[in-house]
Amino acid sequence: MGNRKKVFVVANVVKEHILKFHIPTIKEMTKRGWTVDVGASGDETVPYCHQQYSLPHQRSPFHLGTLKSIWKLRKILKSGGYDIVYCHTPVGGLVGRLASLGLRKQGTRVIYFVHGYHFYKGATFFNWLVYYPIEKLLSLFTDSIILINQEDYHLTKTKFKQVQSYLVSGMGVKQERFSPQSNQVRERYRKELKLPEDATVLIYCAELIKNKNQTFLLHAMKKLVDQGENLYCLLVGIDYTKGEMVEYIQSLNLSDRVLLLGWREDIANLYACSDICVATSIREGFGLNIVEAMFCHVPVVATINRGHASIIQDGQNGLLVQLGNTKQLVEAIYVLMKDTKKKQELVEQASANLEQYHSQKIVNSLLEIIEQTAMK
């Protein structure tokens, strides 16, 4: 195949996936002289890629757009002469692998980067009934699978034995983008966002969808506010709830204390004006947002799931709480509000173990996996 490879990267969406997670990898590929094409839903421009294709699929694999994407991508791949098809997200993995059927015999290699299986310990019977057989079948048409937590890695090793599996530490964090900011930044952002200087500010960076479970955080926050605590919250991410989140916040009488900030590029500055990062997702393959908070020296409280548990050792570099246990979440937030020493200990311990998450280290690992797969 030679050193100058041609790679097609396929994922669900451009803005919240390709642009959020994969630009460092695409940049490094092009730096090495590789040709990188990208296919995903959305019309935002992807830097560093050679050719960008808009695919009509939606978030659900059962949408008609999925079939249209498979058909469109297959025509692209058949005429493109690609060495690697690099798939991301369940929909991107489905589209990319079905579109690649038959091309592996011609030398194309297929890699699937799993950002968290929809079947896992504690998942619903429906998820296991639907998603597990799909992934089991698709693994037969895959050369390598990349995992980002131990649970998914162990499952792949034991259940999808015919495919080569690799474990990496997430998607990587660019240290120059996520680092502690000055007190001047904190003061400026608090002023711009109208946050009282003496208030405790919570922050949760995640798209507003059911899985990210912001309502759990808000319910706990309401209890603390009712106890007289001066508490505010920043919800950072695109709102897909069609007004339901706004209505829920209003029902809790928290409209003047919860800011819906949408998509932001200045996340490190928002962390600078915040005091505690809270992540309450139901399902998480990794938890990049909490690692970014750690890089910015913000203590973390998170729900127990396979992604968060792969990063946080409870009581050492963060606090973990049971999903749905409001009392635990309230207590964890309260501890970090009042116990300055404990808060500092968590920040110091978290900061001491971040090297494994550096972007360049992850990118180097990913390109090594791609190189190894291409040589099969």
pLDDT of residue 116: 94
**Is 181 within 8 Å of 261 (Cβ atoms)?**
no
Task: Tell me 311's DSSP state.
Answer: T
> What global pTM score does this model have?
0.89
Asked if residue 313 is part of any domain, the answer here is: yes
Do 122 and 231 share a structural domain? no
Do 224 and 153 share a structural domain? no
**Is 284 within 8 Å of 262 (Cβ atoms)?**
no
Asked if residue 1 is part of any domain, the answer here is: no
**Is 217 within 8 Å of 285 (Cβ atoms)?**
no
Per-residue pLDDT 10s for the chain (376 aa) are 457 899 999 999 998 899 999 999 999 999 999 999 999 999 899 999 999 999 998 877 778 889 999 999 999 999 999 999 999 999 999 999 999 999 999 999 999 999 999 999 999 999 999 999 999 999 999 999 999 999 999 999 999 999 999 999 998 998 888 998 999 999 999 999 999 999 999 999 999 999 999 999 999 999 999 999 999 999 999 999 999 999 999 999 999 999 999 999 999 999 999 999 999 999 999 999 999 999 999 999 999 999 999 999 999 999 999 999 999 999 999 999 999 999 999 999 999 999 999 999 999 999 999 999 998 7
pLDDT of residue 76: 97
The count of structural domains within the chain is: 2
Do 334 and 186 share a structural domain? yes
Which residues form the domain of 127?
6-172+358-375
Asked if residue 181 is part of any domain, the answer here is: yes
Asked if residue 273 is part of any domain, the answer here is: yes
Do 227 and 154 share a structural domain? no
Residues in the chain: 376
- Token code pair at residue 196: 């009282």
Q: Is 255 helix (H, G, I), strand (E, B) or coil?
A: coil
Do 168 and 67 share a structural domain? yes
Do 157 and 136 share a structural domain? yes
Do 240 and 225 share a structural domain? yes
d(CA 140, CA 161): 10
Do 192 and 97 share a structural domain? no
Do 133 and 228 share a structural domain? no
Do 366 and 266 share a structural domain? no
Asked if residue 248 is part of any domain, the answer here is: yes
pLDDT of residue 1: 45
d(CA 65, CA 57): 4
Do 336 and 303 share a structural domain? yes
Asked if residue 338 is part of any domain, the answer here is: yes
Residues 6 or more apart from 179 whose CB is under 8 A from it? 268, 295, 296
The angle at the Cα of 117, spanning 288 to 172, to the nearest 5 degrees, equals 25
Helix (H) or strand (E) holding 359: helix 359-374
Q: Looking at residue 227, which CATH number applies to its domain?
A: 3.40.50.2000
Do 363 and 298 share a structural domain? no
Asked if residue 39 is part of any domain, the answer here is: yes
